Each structure stands twice: as C-alpha cells, then as structure tokens.
C-alpha cells in the first residue's frame, strides 16, 4: 500500500424519532442542483429579521475576523437566505467571494464523511458500534487500549489525546496509523470527553479494513455521488483551484486546494478527521438529508434510526458533554448553536472557519462557511458563528407549539 495514497432520555428520544420519521419533505429539484429558494415568509421566517445578517457579517469582515463568508439558511427543505460576502482571497490579489466557492471543510469531514460511512456499515451488518477497535486494527492493543470501542471513538470518549505529535518529521498514511496504535491513553476510556482527531482517522482506517476502500473512495461512492454533491471531494483537482477559498501559508506559500490540517497533509490529503472540500450548496443537500431522516430527493443514504443515533446524545451516562455519533450537541464547542437554538439541535465546526447547525423541531439549518485563516492565520469566527445562529433563530416567527413542547419538557427537567 502506498502510504501517502488514502482514497446519548426516554421521552426525548421517542419524540425525536417521530420527528425524523414523519417530517419528510419533497424536494422538487434534481439532486445535482441546489435546494429550491423561496421567500422567508412562506416558511415562517421574517425577511427583515434575516436581513440583520448583513450587518453582523460585514462587521466581522471589517474587523478582519475573516476576509469573506458564504451563508445559507434553510427551512422545510427550502433555501430562504443565501449570500456571499467580502472576498475569497485578498493576497496576492483580491477575489470576490462567490456562492460556488469551494471550502476546506476541516473537521466537518468527521460528520459528513466518516461518521456517515461508519453508520452505513453498521446498517449493513459489517460492524457494530460496540465492537472494539482491536477487532479491526489488532495492533491498536498496545499500551492497554484493548477495551476502546468504535462508539468511544465516535463520541470522543476514547481517552486518546487530541492529535499526534507533529514535532517529529513523520509522513505517510500508514505511519499515522502506526503512531496512533502506539499512543498511550491520557484518560480511561469513557472517563471524560477529549476531542480528538486521532479518534476519527482511526475510524476511517476501520472503514478501509472493512471495505478495502479509503474514506475518500467510500464516502464519494456511497454518499456524495448518490446525493449529487459534485463539488465535494478530497484532494480536489487542480482545475477547481480558482474556485477554492485559500487558507494561510505553508512553507511561505498560500495554501489553495491542499488541506490545511497538518496531520491530514502528512497523511497524503485523505483522513477521517479532515481533508474534505465542499460548497455551501452541496453541504445544504447533505444537511437536508440528515433532517429528512437519511433521505434526499428519493435517494436514501441512511435509515432514520441511524440519523437518530447520530443526532441524540450517545455519551456515557452521567457525562455533561453530549455528543451524538459525529455531531456535537452540548459541549464547549457548541457555540455555533447561538443563544436561541436549544439543546436538542446539533451541528459541528471546522477549524478553517466552516460550520453548520441543524434543528429538527423548527426544521431549519444554518450554514456559515468562511476562510478565516486567510491570509495570515489570525482570523477568528467563534463570535460570528454564535451571532449568525442567534440572528437566524430570532428570525423564526412561526414555530409549532407541538414541537416547542419538547423544549418545555427539557426546561422542566423531564427527559
């Protein structure tokens, strides 16, 4: 093998299950096109309130938090707001941000590619989430790691540290797997939440050992192509470079089309924790698939019950960091939920400035893509993500009381 070639409750769960099973919407356009766009008022949003996004995003650009952004807001499977702001690049020349800009998705890879792929294999009976990692990667047993399960990798309760040591000049996909197998635990499995990239590139290696395909090959074949996500890939081809949002510099050169994450870069551009590139329109299709219980426009990717597992807390009992299989629900990383979307919604962020948040009860999606690292790596969109989500949630003026009952039960402590 070429080393650098890689191709957690009862009532809430019942209620969430019913949402995913019955709240399925008909999308009129072919999968290769973006979701249909409608007026905000037609699906219970206020246009005037959504327009507040302009000032929030433009202020962030003026403050050099990011050179530009693309935002999309979706409800009932329809786009109600979709706009590009600022610049895609500012060095060596200014380039306006466009709606079809391709972004380095960073850790959104964990959910879109890896967690989704793992759930596909669970549905096919090829693995179980309670299986031990060593059942697939026997050499992982070193240093008392035999008990770690796939579920603990998915929820970041494995006890592994956040990333490999990058001080040594290692390179290669196989080398990364070997180094991960040699890792020592920094916590007992299940003891505490430690967000770890190692967890997810190990999961992608499980995919490879079960299917014979690297995560880029498997996810493209089984997820992205069936959904018509034609601008979504690992290691995007050179001809797409003009549409790709550049990041900061590596070895004095602006990175454009090559993955920003240093571990993934050393692994050859393909890993389970980072490496995916996509557009806001493609990601909207994937996100809508999740809200529709695993199906989009007649193409079923996942069972609704798989989606339920991904989007409800799967953390060990007694833990206050709530993760689904892939999705963030309630942790210190949940700032992109904003101040108004309640616990029960879910999402993820990417280091490069990408993020999404999905709420199954208002059936809304917030997508905010930025290249905040360009050009000098100093930008930050933590505050912007929170403000954008709060503006969008504040623009929802028609919310079903039946669905809101879920939130009242949560506030009363009746799970």
Q: Indicate if the pLDDT at residue 268 is higher than 80.
A: yes
* pLDDT band at residue 342 using 50, 70 and 90 as cut-offs: confident
Q: Is the peptide bond before 92 cis (omega within 30 degrees of 0)?
A: yes
Give the distance from CA 373 to its chain's centroid: 18
Could you read off the pLDDT of 303-319 as tens digits, one per residue? 999 999 999 999 999 99
- How much is the pLDDT for 343? 84
- CATH of segment(s) 10-411: 3.40.710.10
Lowest mean pLDDT among 23-37, 148-162, 265-279, 392-406: 23-37
Q: Which helix (H) or strand (E) holds 85?
A: strand 78-89
How far apart CA 371 and CA 369 sit, in angstroms, is 7
C-beta neighbour count of 322 within 10 angstroms: 21
Give the distance from CA 118 to its chain's centroid: 14
- pLDDT exceeding 70 applies to what percent of the chain? 88
Give the distance from CA 225 to its chain's centroid: 18
* Mean pLDDT of all residues in 381-393: 98
Among 309, 116, 324, CA closest to 204: 116
Q: What is the mean pLDDT of the chain?
A: 90
Could you read off the pLDDT of 99-119 as tens digits, one per residue? 999 999 999 999 999 999 999
Please give the model's pTM, rounded to 2 decimal places: 0.89
Question: DSSP per residue over 354-382, as a string?
Answer: EEEEEETTTTEEEEEEE-TTTTTS----H
Convert 44-73 to b/e letters by CB count within 10 Å (16 or more is b).
Answer: bbeeebbebbeebbeebbeeebbbbbbbbb
* Mean pLDDT of all residues in 66-89: 97
Reported as half-sphere exposure (CB side, CA atoms, 13 A), residue 164 has a value of 28
Residue 284 token pair: 């909207």
- How much is the pLDDT for 148? 98
Please calculate the CA angle 83-342-28 and round it to the nearest 5 degrees.
45
How far apart CA 26 and CA 348 sit, in angstroms, is 26
C-beta neighbour count of 403 within 10 angstroms: 17
- How much is the pLDDT for 409? 45
Q: Which residue has the tokens 């430690």?
A: 194
């Amino acid at each position: 093998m070429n080393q650098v070639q890689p191709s957690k409750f009862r009532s809430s769960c019942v209620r969430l299950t019913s949402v995913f099973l019955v709240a399925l919407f008909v999308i009129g356009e072919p999968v290769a096109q973006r979701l249909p766009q409608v007026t905000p008022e037609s699906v219970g949003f206020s246009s005037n309130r959504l327009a507040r996004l302009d000032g929030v995003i433009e202020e962030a650009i003026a403050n050099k938090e990011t050179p530009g952004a693309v935002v999309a807001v979706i409800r009932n499977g329809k786009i109600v707001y979709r706009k590009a702001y600022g610049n895609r690049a500012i060095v060596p020349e200014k380039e306006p941000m466009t709606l079809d800009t391709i972004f380095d998705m960073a850790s959104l890879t964990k959910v879109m590619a890896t967690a989704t792929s793992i759930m596909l294999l669970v549905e096919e009976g090829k693995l179980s989430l309670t299986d031990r990692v060593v059942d697939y990667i026997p050499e992982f047993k070193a240093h008392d790691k035999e008990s770690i399960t796939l579920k603990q990798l998915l929820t970041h309760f494995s006890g592994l540290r956040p990333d490999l040591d990058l001080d040594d000049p290692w390179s290669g996909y196989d080398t990364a797997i070997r180094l991960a197998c040699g890792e020592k635990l920094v916590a007992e499995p299940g003891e505490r939440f430690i967000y770890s990239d190692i967890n997810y590139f190990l999961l992608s290696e499980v995919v490879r050992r079960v299917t014979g395909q690297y995560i880029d090959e498997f996810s493209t074949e089984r997820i992205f192509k069936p959904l018509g996500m034609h601008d979504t890939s690992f290691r995007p081809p050179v001809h797409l470079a003009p549409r790709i949002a550049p990041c900061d510099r590596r070895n004095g050169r602006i990175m454009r089309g090559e993955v920003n994450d240093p571990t993934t870069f050393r692994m050859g551009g393909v890993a389970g924790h980072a490496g995916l590139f996509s557009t806001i329109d493609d990601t909207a299709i994937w996100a809508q698939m999740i809200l529709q219980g695993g199906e989009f426009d007649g193409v079923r990717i996942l069972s609704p019950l798989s989606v339920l597992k991904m989007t409800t807390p799967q953390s060990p009992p007694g833990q206050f960091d709530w993760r689904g299989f892939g999705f963030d629900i309630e942790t210190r990383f949940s700032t992109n939920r904003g101040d108004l979307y309640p616990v029960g919604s879910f999402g993820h962020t990417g280091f490069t400035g990408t993020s999404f948040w999905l709420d199954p009860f208002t059936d809304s999606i917030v997508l905010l893509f930025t290249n905040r690292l360009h050009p000098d790596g100093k930008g930050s969109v933590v505050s912007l993500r929170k403000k954008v989500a709060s503006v969008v949630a504040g623009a929802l003026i028609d919310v079903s009381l039946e669905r809101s009952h879920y939130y009242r039960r949560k506030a009363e402590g009746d799970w």
